[in-house]
Amino acid sequence: MAYFKITKVKIADQSCAMAVYAPAPDNSVRGIIFNAHTFESDGQIFNELRARNPTIDIVSARRLGKTRHFVLTIAGYTLPKHVRYLHFPLLIFPFRERVEACFNCRQTGHRTDVCPRPKQDNCRHCGESHPQPTDTEKLTYPAQCVVCKGGHLTGSRNCKYRFLKKKLPANDKSTDKATQHLSDSQTEGTTTDIKKCQESFPPLGGRSTSATGRGSGAGPVKDPGSPQQTSGHPHAKSVAWPTDKQRQPQTQPFENQQGRELAELVKLLQQQLAAANDKIKQLKRKQVPASATIMTVPNRSWPVPR
């Protein structure tokens, strides 16, 4: 905090005025309070906000120029909806920084008071060098915005680019070229190695494209019924790779065994069901007396006495 008290710096024999400014930390958000009080200093505003809001980590608070608005910097990534100030709750809105525009060189990125170029007597309204009108005369030159070069005043609400927007860092072209060259050299080296391997190990005859997964370097597909085909290389051997039809019988024993087990189980259940039906018929014969006649009705039967 002692650095904030520095007001001037002595360089050689000259004394230079100096204003100390502490930038906001990276992990912080900024908010603005509109139409607050007008008679407090920046120190009083900061102390009052810290005392009234102990649960909010307020890093800094100041007045926005000579207006009635307060700008707050709060640690963290979440901006509260309101804070208490002098017993009153005040709403906080996100603070959006404006693009800094210089009226001296008509460029963005810095203000007029810190412009490194020589001072020019240009019009702040249009940027042209012409005599300034008197109080009774009306300015007839069209306005020109420093930020977007549009036909309105700089910082006007009509300017769509008056607020600062964060952009992604531009890619370095030299780095991109070096990366591209490195990737090309690696690709060429890999291709050369593949060619050498193919020359040392020629493709096997009869290997289909579906078996290898690659169209290049695969031999002709061999028909099981046709005679053996040999490649043009003298040391190449004709190897018949197993096709889908040849692989199919390998799964048949398992399927046949499973089918046989199911057939035996069904046969056993049928036998048990037939035995149960025979036993039921025997029990019914024992229950019906010999002197009774059986009267049959669809789906039902009972003894009828004579």
Return d(Cα 253, Cα 251) in angstroms, integer: 6
126: pLDDT confidence band, cut at 50, 70 and 90? confident
Question: Which residues is 14 bridged to in the sheet?
Answer: 11
* pLDDT over threshold 70, residue 171: no
180 within a domain of the structure (yes/no): no
* Together in a domain, 118 and 82: no
pLDDT for res 226: 46
Overall number of domains in the chain: 2
Q: Residues 75-113: pLDDT tens digits? A: 998 999 999 998 889 999 998 877 888 888 888 888 888
CA dihedral over 87, 92, 97, 102, signed as positive or negative: negative
Q: Domain containing 57: what range?
A: 24-94
Of 117, 146, 166, the last residue of a domain is 166
Q: Is the pTM of this model over 0.75?
A: no
34 within a domain of the structure (yes/no): yes
59, two tokens: 């890093």
Query: Considering only 67-71, 82-86, 108-112, 298-302, which range has the smallest mean pLDDT?
Result: 298-302
Which of 134, 152, 135 minimizes the C-alpha distance to 143?
Answer: 152
Quickly list H helices, 107-227. Answer: 173-200, 209-212
Mean pLDDT confidence for 251-278: 80
The long-range contacts involving 3-10, CB below 8 angstroms and separated by at least 24 positions, are none
117 within a domain of the structure (yes/no): yes
pLDDT for res 298: 52
Return d(Cα 195, Cα 208) in angstroms, integer: 20
* Together in a domain, 150 and 102: yes
Residues 279-305: b if buried by 16+ CB within 10 A, e if exposed: eeeeeeeeeeeeeeeeeeeeeeeeeee
* Together in a domain, 37 and 88: yes
pLDDT for res 47: 92
pLDDT for res 97: 78
Query: Considering only 160-164, 187-191, 226-230, which range has the smallest mean pLDDT?
Result: 226-230
218 within a domain of the structure (yes/no): no
247 within a domain of the structure (yes/no): no
244 within a domain of the structure (yes/no): no
Return d(Cα 260, Cα 254) in angstroms, integer: 10
**Under DSSP, is residue 233 helix (H, G, I), strand (E, B) or coil?**
coil
* Together in a domain, 117 and 151: yes
35 within a domain of the structure (yes/no): yes
Which of the residue ranges 3-17, 72-86, 206-220 has the most confident prediction, judged by mean pLDDT? 72-86
121, two tokens: 């007597």
* Together in a domain, 88 and 29: yes
* Together in a domain, 114 and 147: yes
* pLDDT over threshold 50, residue 197: yes
The long-range contacts involving 144-151, CB below 8 angstroms and separated by at least 24 positions, are 146/101, 146/102, 146/103, 146/106, 146/107, 146/108, 147/99, 147/101, 147/108
* pLDDT over threshold 70, residue 136: no
Return d(Cα 124, Cα 141) in angstroms, integer: 11
* pLDDT over threshold 80, residue 296: no
Mean pLDDT confidence for 28-53: 89
Mean pLDDT of the chain: 72
219 within a domain of the structure (yes/no): no
Of 42, 71, 94, the last residue of a domain is 94
* Together in a domain, 119 and 80: no
Tell which wins on pLDDT, 293 or 153: 153
Please return the burial class of 200, using the count of CB atoms within 10 Å of its CB with bins 0-12, 13-18 and 19+. Answer: exposed
193, two tokens: 């190695």
Of 38, 67, 94, the last residue of a domain is 94
